[in-house]
């Protein structure tokens, strides 16, 4: 991808628009980072900037104002873009892996420690043709598509709450924030916590969010699966990103890249999934034509997540997440993985 194309990526466009509408925003972010742990309370290193800083910048240090409802000047957008700006990673998934992940259900509780393994403070993930169901912001629009979304972690200094924050960038020019309280609970329970917290503020305006359901959890699951894959120990990324906290200077700032970095995700595993599926379709076709039945018939076992602990039994242990791709059962294990050829830039 050439420099001109990279510069035209959606998150980079939003970054320029925010700086144009609020020219001092990066200087304010720099001041907040410099005050971390000195003039301001400290916060964990896995969070680049807490949302309280976004509120202060958005409201210009005063009371709530119209900026809270602005597309770019609201706290959620300011913090997502400011956090993404320090590394500017754009993640583009192989179509086979992408389809496998977004159509896979999520079971069990949220793996909160795993989410802290994001490769960057904030990532932007492209989501071609991913519908955002249940959004009724514009009755003239039949469906809302999410072009991509930002994902970063938030630390609430008031109650020490940990959150995964998503900012959906839609095809109708709307940035939709989504919040998951992360901990040892399910997605529905997490969304319900978010609802109760939001209603504390909405009640002031005599509004209230209705309870969340499993349908809402299903709506957010595809986005969560993509984020989790980037956190997985075995994520298929040719060159692993270097987390920007390794480039923090004494002032608390980091070097900001001039252009976004496009990361291709899942080329190798995507080619493998495609190969196995084609072989299975061919085997099924041959079986139906010949009238014979193999026992057991080669098949593909559904992809799933696997958690395990590492570290000494008597010391500190860390949980590791691995994504086990669709596993071929009954195939020749000696067969090589498909070769992926990449162009040298």
Which mean pLDDT values do the consecutive 10-residue runs of the chain (345 residues) have?
Answer: 70 94 93 90 92 91 74 93 95 93 85 87 93 53 82 89 92 85 85 79 62 76 92 87 72 76 91 79 68 53 68 68 66 49 55
Per-residue model confidence (pLDDT) at position 336: 47
Per-residue model confidence (pLDDT) at position 135: 43
Per-residue model confidence (pLDDT) at position 248: 61
Is residue 177 within 8 A of residue 170, CB to CB? The reply is: no
Per-residue model confidence (pLDDT) at position 107: 80
Can you tell me which residue has the tokens 């991913």?
A: 130
Per-residue model confidence (pLDDT) at position 340: 56
Can you tell me which residue has the tokens 């009371």?
A: 63
Round to whole Å and give the CA distance between 166 and 154: 10
Round to whole Å and give the CA distance between 117 and 323: 14
SS3 call for 306 = strand
Per-residue model confidence (pLDDT) at position 315: 67
Is residue 36 within 8 A of residue 42, CB to CB? The reply is: yes
Q: How many residues does the chain have?
A: 345
SS3 call for 106 = coil
88: Cα separation from own chain's centroid:
13
Per-residue model confidence (pLDDT) at position 158: 80
Is residue 259 within 8 A of residue 6, CB to CB? The reply is: yes
Q: Which residues make Cβ contacts (< 8 Å) with residue 239, sequence separation at least 6? A: none
Nearest Cα to Cα of residue 77 among 39, 8, 129, 29: 29
In this structure, the number of other CB atoms found within 10 A of the CB of residue 113 comes to 14
Distances (CA, A) of 278 to 48, 137, 143, 274: 44, 41, 32, 6
Per-residue model confidence (pLDDT) at position 137: 41
Round to whole Å and give the CA distance between 178 and 187: 12
SS3 call for 313 = coil
Per-residue model confidence (pLDDT) at position 74: 93
Token pair belonging to 258 = 């001039």
Per-residue model confidence (pLDDT) at position 159: 82
Is residue 121 within 8 A of residue 48, CB to CB? The reply is: yes
In this structure, the number of other CB atoms found within 10 A of the CB of residue 234 comes to 14
Round to whole Å and give the CA distance between 144 and 178: 15
Name the residue ranges covered by the structural domains of the chain. 3-263
Is residue 76 within 8 A of residue 54, CB to CB? The reply is: yes
Residue 170 sits at φ, ψ, to 5 deg, of: -100, 170
Per-residue model confidence (pLDDT) at position 94: 94
Per-residue model confidence (pLDDT) at position 166: 94
Round to whole Å and give the CA distance between 78 and 150: 12
**Helix segments in 111-266, DSSP class H:** 112-115, 187-202, 214-231
């Amino acid at each position: 991808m050439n420099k001109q194309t990279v510069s035209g990526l959606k998150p980079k466009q939003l970054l320029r628009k925010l700086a144009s509408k609020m020219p001092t925003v990066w200087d304010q972010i720099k001041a907040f980072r410099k005050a971390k742990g000195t003039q301001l309370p400290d916060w964990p290193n896995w969070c680049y900037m807490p949302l309280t800083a976004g509120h202060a910048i958005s409201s210009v240090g005063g009371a709530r104002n119209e900026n809270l409802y602005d597309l770019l000047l609201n706290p959620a957008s300011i913090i997502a873009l400011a956090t993404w700006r320090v590394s500017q990673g754009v993640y583009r998934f192989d179509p086979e892996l992408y389809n496998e992940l977004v159509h896979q259900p999520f079971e069990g509780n949220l793996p909160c420690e795993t989410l802290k393994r994001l490769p960057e403070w904030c990532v932007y993930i492209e989501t071609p043709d991913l519908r955002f169901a249940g959004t009724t912001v514009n009755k003239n629009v039949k469906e809302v598509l999410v072009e991509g979304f930002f994902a970063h972690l938030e630390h609430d200094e008031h109650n020490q709450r940990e959150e995964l924050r998503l900012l959906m960038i839609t095809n109708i020019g709307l940035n939709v924030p989504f919040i998951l309280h992360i901990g040892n609970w399910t997605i529905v329970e997490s969304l319900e916590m978010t609802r109760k917290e939001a209603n504390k503020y909405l009640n002031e305006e005599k509004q209230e969010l209705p309870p969340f359901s499993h349908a809402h959890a299903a709506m957010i699951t595809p986005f969560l699966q993509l984020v989790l894959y980037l956190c997985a120990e075995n994520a298929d990324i040719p060159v692993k990103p270097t987390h920007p906290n390794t480039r923090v200077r004494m002032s608390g700032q980091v070097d900001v890249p001039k252009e976004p970095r496009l990361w291709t995700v899942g080329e190798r595993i995507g080619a493998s999934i495609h190969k196995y599926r084609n072989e299975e379709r061919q085997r099924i076709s041959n079986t139906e034509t010949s009238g014979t039945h193999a026992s057991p018939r080669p098949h593909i076992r559904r992809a799933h997540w696997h958690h395990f602990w590492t570290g000494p039994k008597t010391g500190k242990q860390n949980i590791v997440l691995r994504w086990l791709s669709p596993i071929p059962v009954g195939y020749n294990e000696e067969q090589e993985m498909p070769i992926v050829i990449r162009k040298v830039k």
